[in-house]
Amino acid sequence: MAASPASYTHSYFETARDFNRSTHPKPFLRFLLFGTEVSAEIADIVCTLRLLRDLWQFVRAGKVSGRAGDLCRSHVSNSTAVFSSMSAPCRRTVLLFGSTGALGGAVADAFAAARWRVIGCSTSGPSSKQNGGNRYPSKWASPLPPHARIEVQPFPQMSLKEQGEEIARQLQPLLSTGPPLHAAICCSGGFACSSVHSENFLSEAEQMLEANCLPALLCAHAASVLFRSRSATAAREAPLVVLTGAAAAVQGAGGARPTPTMLAYGCSKVYVHHLVQSLAATGVAAEARGGDGLAPQSPSLHYRVVGVLPAILDTAANRAAMPSVAEATRENKWTKCDDIARKLVAWADGAEEAENGALYVVKTTGGATEFLPTCGSERRT
């Protein structure tokens, strides 16, 4: 059962909880406070909002400073975002593969905060993380319509074709109502580090295929079918598809970089890079052939597609895997998942331009993160 709005209020402000319970225990007193008979839950929310307003006025007036002031600002900002998300209907929908991971969880949070409906998709069967990385169902309470999650059995228990059909089957009722699907993002992924002569190489290669390549194919196919069926859109910008590659496997103008010490991982990420560029080039290639080519002409795409290529993400798993890395290096050179999440929201909303077919290398220096495009479709001839 979903928690009531009051429970989220209580989790943020214990003082507000005690104040509310002692201040309006009786219906008659609630009538005096609000001018009409209201439930205790509604009174709880209204009293807490008043407390937030008074607290914010104190902060703005400079009467709360230092660390206490920073904490007050943080609590007020977070609580305001939660109340805004609860009260306003979602504007658009995003289909998010890998929503239980560190990056996927950050992306889900960012889109939920921007009033997008998040449909998480797992291609590895039921998750055992209990919302550990998939935070949006508990943090963003009851948007309109509610966030959702679909799960399919992993490969090879289901073939890739069967997975795609099951995803489509579960998506159909979710997308029949509510805001339109306007983005499909794949944050699924895995890592392995071995050379070609390692005894684990072949098993790791299979794992990388399942973790990095197959979810990207499912995301691309689902997006292509769904966006193509929507021949016209009221939005100014085309829908967005984002696939996750790796900076370690690209060099120069989008060419592949050798990865001899992590061969299976590098091959799987180059596969994703090629998928991004091929999707973006679909319409271009059809025009270039002009009808004389042997292959059937491909229809123009009704969406934008880009790749995001981070180097090292600042996640709990990476910190545990590399404990000897200095904290200064982590803070200055590792990329925060929230930085990528905010960029994806900006691209999807059209607030920032995403070049179709570009592979964006994510580079963090001195704690500042840049997205450097390589090999966009407009640069191809």
89-379 is classed in which CATH architecture?
3-Layer(aba) Sandwich (3.40)
CA distance 294 to 290: 11
Please state the rounded mean pLDDT for residues 198-209. 94
Q: Write phi, then psi, for 196 (nearest 5 degrees).
A: -70, -25
Chain centre to alpha carbon of residue 83 = 21
What sign does the CA torsion over 133, 138, 140, 142 have?
Answer: positive
Percent of the chain past pLDDT 70, that is, above it, reads: 62
- pLDDT at position 375: 72
CA distance 78 to 165: 39
CA distance 264 to 201: 7
**Nearest one of 256, 380, 236, 205 to 304, comparing CA atoms:** 236
Residues 243-299 pLDDT 10s: 999 999 987 666 788 899 999 999 999 999 999 999 998 755 444 444 445 455 555
What's the mean pLDDT when you consider all of the chain? 77
- pLDDT at position 291: 46
Q: What is the SS3 assignment for 374?
A: strand
Please state the rounded mean pLDDT for residues 147-168. 92
144 — pLDDT class (breaks 50, 70, 90): low
Please report, for the chain, the start and end positions of each structural domain, with discontinuous segments joined by +.
5-86, 89-379
Residues 24-53 pLDDT 10s: 444 433 333 444 444 555 555 655 666 666
CA distance 254 to 273: 8
**Nearest one of 90, 168, 98, 152 to 308, comparing CA atoms:** 98
Percent of the chain past pLDDT 90, that is, above it, reads: 52
**Is the pLDDT at 22 greater than 70, yes or no?**
no
CA distance 90 to 115: 5
- pLDDT at position 255: 72
**Nearest one of 359, 377, 349, 378 to 92, comparing CA atoms:** 349
Residue pair 20/4 in contact by the 8 Å Cβ criterion: no
Which H or E run contains 362? strand 359-365
